[in-house]
Structure 1
Amino acid sequence: MKKEERQKVILEYLSKEHRLTLTELSAYLNVSEDTVRRDVKELSDQGLLKAVRGGAVAPSPIPLHFRKREKHDLENKKIIAEKAISFLKDGQVVFIDGGTTSLALVASFPYDLKITVITNSFPVAALVEDLPNIELIFAGGKMCKTSFTTASIETIDFFRNFRADICILGLCSIHHERGVTGILYDDSQIKKNMIQNSNFVIALGSAEKIDTAESYFVCPLRDINVLVTNISPDDETFQSYKKSGVTIV
């Protein structure tokens, strides 16, 4: 089998299984592990998958631009928002990032909820504006037009001035070995800083983001307290996450 054919098979296999090991791929293709390791590296360099220790995982399937993401997977975002809302209580100081699942959570806020929201997301700020009992503190800085957030050194410095009770983190990718990762460098740095300055971290992510990985590291799995998703917490996918101390909702 030619290299191009092997690599096509690898991508098709990964699209179905979401992850693979070099050992199983070697047996599947009937070639050496060194051969599949080279194939995986080439595909990783092209951004078509993410090489991990002993294998590969799929990249996040979500669109990059906010306008496309806000219309993506709406029903599952509503399910996640309904599960996550129970963690918010009056009097809390809450970091909220620029993820569209985080935005879906804000859209579900009760009218009488009394919390302080600290965010760098313009869409989140626009929703909070209509809620009379929520105090809004906005993180300034240079605007990223891909994510509709501020994302600069000024933004990072801003979040260092607070210690939030809860951080609401919209996931791009999460993997049981690689942790939380993101597509955009600046956005990933903002998320990292929010996590470091929070007492409790709630990650929001649909099933399609589980066991995927991107280029920019946000945090290890142990930094996530709760993972809220749209599928059953008893799904076997979450075994590795639970072993790392993550509560699945």
Structure 2
Amino acid sequence: MIKAERQRLIISHVSKDQKVLLSDLSTLLSVSEDTVRRDIKELSDQGLLKAVRGGAISHSPIPLHFRDREHYDVSHKAIIAEKAQQFISDGQVVLFDSGTSALAVATHLPKERKITAVTNSFPVAAVLEDHPNAEVIFIGGRLNKTAFSTSGHEVIRALGGLSPDVCFLGICSIDVNHGITGKDYEDSQVKKMMVERARYVIALSTLEKIGTAEPYLICEAQSLDAIITDMEPDHEALQVYTAAGIEIV
């Protein structure tokens, strides 16, 4: 079997199962694990999958630009946003990141809820601008035109002076072994500080982000207190997170 054919089969299996093991591919393709490892490295360098120890996992299918993500999977984000409201109480300081799922949580915030919202997201700030009982603290910095948010040293420094009650983290990718990862370096650094500073961290994730990975580590999966998804908590793909001690909603 020629290399191009092997690599097409590797991509096909990653797309179907979201992950592959070197040992399984070696048997399937009748080549050595070293050959498979080289194939996976080439495909990873091309951005077609994520090479990890012992195999590969898929990238997140979520678009990078905010405008593309804004209208992506809206109904499932609404399910997540409604579930998230149980974690918001009057008097809390609530941190919203720049993800579109976090924006959905802010959009669904009941008008009677009295909170202080902290965010680096222009869309979140705009949504809460008209909320009658939400005080809004917007963290300024360099404009990230892809994420419609601020990033950089000023944002990280400002977050370092906060201790929010809860953080809603819209994520790109999550894997129980490889953690929460992102596609953008500076955005990932901001999210990392949010996780470090918040007392209770909630990841917002549709099912298709589960078991995927990107280049920049935000935190280990065990750093999360809860994961809110669009599925039932007992879904098979979520059981490993329950076993890791993370609340699944």
Partner of 2:82: 82
Please tell me the root mean square deviation across aligned C-alpha atoms, in Å: 0.8
Query: Which runs of at least 4 in structure 1 moved beyond 6 Å after TM superposition?
Result: none
Residue deviations 1:142-198 (CA, integer Å, cap 9, x gap): 100000000110011011111000010001000011100000000000000011011
CA apart distance, 1:112: 0.9
Counterparts of 1:156-195 in structure 2, within 5 Å, are 156-195=156-195
Query: Which ranges of structure 2 fall in alignment gaps of 5 or more residues?
Result: none
How far apart, in 2, do the equivalents of 1:234 and 1:166 lie?
24
TM-score normalized with structure 1 length: 0.98
Counterparts of 1:137-148 in structure 2, within 5 Å, are 137-148=137-148
How far apart, in 1, do the equivalents of 2:103 and 2:30 lie?
47
CA apart distance, 1:132: 1.3
CA apart distance, 1:57: 0.5
Counterparts of 1:219-238 in structure 2, within 5 Å, are 219-238=219-238
Matched letter for residue 91 of structure 2: G
Bigger shift: residues 211-220 or 76-85: 76-85
How far apart, in 2, do the equivalents of 1:133 and 1:235 lie?
36
Query: Which ranges of structure 1 fall in alignment gaps of 5 or more residues?
Result: none
How far apart, in 1, do the equivalents of 2:36 and 2:242 lie?
31
CA apart distance, 1:82: 1.1
1:134 and 2:149 are equivalent in the alignment: no
CA apart distance, 1:124: 0.1
Matched letter for residue 235 of structure 2: D
Q: How many residues align?
A: 249
Partner of 2:18: 18
Partner of 1:121: 121
Partner of 1:98: 98
How far apart, in 1, do the equivalents of 2:93 and 2:28 lie?
51
Percentage of matched positions with identical amino acids: 53
Residue deviations 1:68-111 (CA, integer Å, cap 9, x gap): 00010111101111111111110110110000011111111101
Residue deviations 1:48-81 (CA, integer Å, cap 9, x gap): 1111121110001000100000010111101111
TM-score normalized with structure 2 length: 0.98
1:149 and 2:149 are equivalent in the alignment: yes
